Structures are given as structure tokens and as C-alpha cells.
Amino acid sequence: MHDRKGEGPPLIGTLPPGIAFPAMETSRIAWIGTGVMGRSMAGHLLASGHAVVVHTRTPERAAALLEAGATWAPSPRAAADGADAACVMVGLPSDVEAVFLGDDGILAAPRCPRLLVDFTTSSPALARRIASAAEAHGALSLDAPVSGGDIGARNATLSIMCGGSPEAFAAAGPLLAKLGKTVVRQGGPGAGQHAKMVNQILIAGTMLGLAEALSYARRSGLDPATVLESVGGGAAASWSLANLAPRVLKGDFAPGFFIEHFVKDLRIALDEARSLGLELPTVAAAERAYAALAGGGHARSGTQAIVHAYGW
């Protein structure tokens, strides 16, 4: 499933000399979902000259895009009708299923887009179902979950983990290059979602460590900001430490990524691990801690709010 032998170069930005993604004629893009990250991502495509047709459950969140020249559609089906590509960035697997496969979804459009890209973190099995349905409609499909949070979305420096055919990856390449800095094809449909689970497993441990380390520093009488000057440049350095720890010290718990979405991701990771015969105790501990925070009123806080589980 993950074998790339004979399938061509996997990376954008590290292609052999003379090899490039084919020119893409996409001019009309349907964009579904304008949350914390989706707004910025759609904005990059709009700013690069594409005609962007937007649908989101909360129209107010699309206001800035509409002011910048995007147009509104009343449903995913309407947004996708006649579009060259459809891009989706929503919250839950149930949302993904409805947006792609529902009666008013993208694949129900009379003129289905030739390229479908799902940036949502969802289940590998659902990604495979969408790819199969897309193929039946003569379309290419790519599961392309992202990492980098609101900062990466704003700066177009996301890491994008892709699953799909080489043809789908090549077709999406010019769009993905406008959104991310690291874009890698991991294998066939669903492989992008599996790679994102690896990412979330790593983050689960990192965030628990970050919260415990900051709590220890404060309780021991150290100045956490001064401590970060030392540990932030050593072996303990990480993206989370550099970007989220300063937010904690400022009392900024606004979401770059919602806790409720991280809980969803961790549960997908645990489910997939069980199907593979694996136990992930660190992920299980993170899921319990974050689920408790979500149930205690922090569901829409950023993941850095994990420090509240340690009496912050």
C-alpha cells in the first residue's frame, strides 16, 4: 500500500533536475470550510489568481474571503458544480463524509470537479471510500491532512501529508505548493491520513511533556521564560515549544488548533492502532487529559491549554 517504487518522485521542492509538476489549468476552486486554518488556505489560492467559490456552515467566517473577491455558494454541491478542483477543510469525519458523499455533497454536483483534495484530518478508511467514489465519477482524489496550525496556514508553510495516486498528487501539486512548505506523497488513498496519525502521536507526547515541564519550572521557582531560553535551543527543542510555550506564558489560549479536534484525532489514532494490534499508552493518556479539558469548558481552546490539567 505504501510502496512508491516506480511511481515517480514523492516530494514537491526536492524533485530531480528537469522534473516538475505539470502546469495546472485550474481557474475555479470550490473551497469548503473556512475555520481557523481554512480561511488562510483559501485566501492564498484566491490571492494567487484562482476564482474561489466558498461554502461554510457559518457564513460569517467567510466574510473576509468574500470581501477579497471570493463568491458564496449555498452548499458543497453548488460550490463544486463546474469547478476544476474542490478543496475541503472541515472538522470531523462525519463532516467530511457529508461534504463529499452526501446528497448535497461535492460528488452530487452535475459537473463534478476533476480533482478533489481533503485537507481534513479524518480516517484512512473514509479516505479510501472517497477515492473510490471519486474514481467512479472520473475524478482524482487526494487525502492531504496538514500540520502547522494557524501559523503554518497563515504563512503557507504547512506540512502536507498526501495519500492518493501519483496522478492525483501531480495534478494537485501546483495548488499544494501555494499552501505548504513540505509536501510529501506517502502512498495510495488513506496513506496521508495514516501519516497524520504519526504526526498527532508525536504531538500528543510533546504536549504532555511541554505542560509538565512548564509546570515543573514554575513550581520549582524558576522563571519559565528564562528556562525556555536555555531548553529551546537544545535537544528538547520542538515546534510546540517554540510556538506554543510562549503563548502559555502570555496566558494566550486562543486556538491555533482546537482541543476538541485534537481529541477527535487522538481517538482516530487509538482506533487505528488497535486495528494494527498496537497499544499507545502515551496517546491514551493524552486523550484522557484533553477529553477532560474539553468536557470542562476548554473544547474550543487551543491545544496549549493542556497546562490547565496541571493546575496552571
Q: How many whole angstroms separate alpha carbon 39 and alpha carbon 29? A: 14
Q: Can you read off the three cell numbers belonging to residue 274?
A: 488497535
Residue of 78, 63, 134, 72 lying closest to 110 (CA atoms): 78
Residue 42: half-sphere exposure toward Cβ, Cα within 13 Å: 37
Sign of the CA dihedral running 67, 68, 73, 74 = negative
Place of cell 476552486: 29
250 is catalytic: no
Q: How many whole angstroms separate alpha carbon 249 and alpha carbon 222? A: 13
Judge contact between 133 and 100, C-beta under 8 A.
Answer: yes
The one catalytic residue among 178, 196, 250, 264:
196
Judge contact between 176 and 162, C-beta under 8 A.
Answer: yes
Q: How many whole angstroms separate alpha carbon 203 and alpha carbon 265? A: 11
Task: List residues with catalytic annotation.
Answer: 196
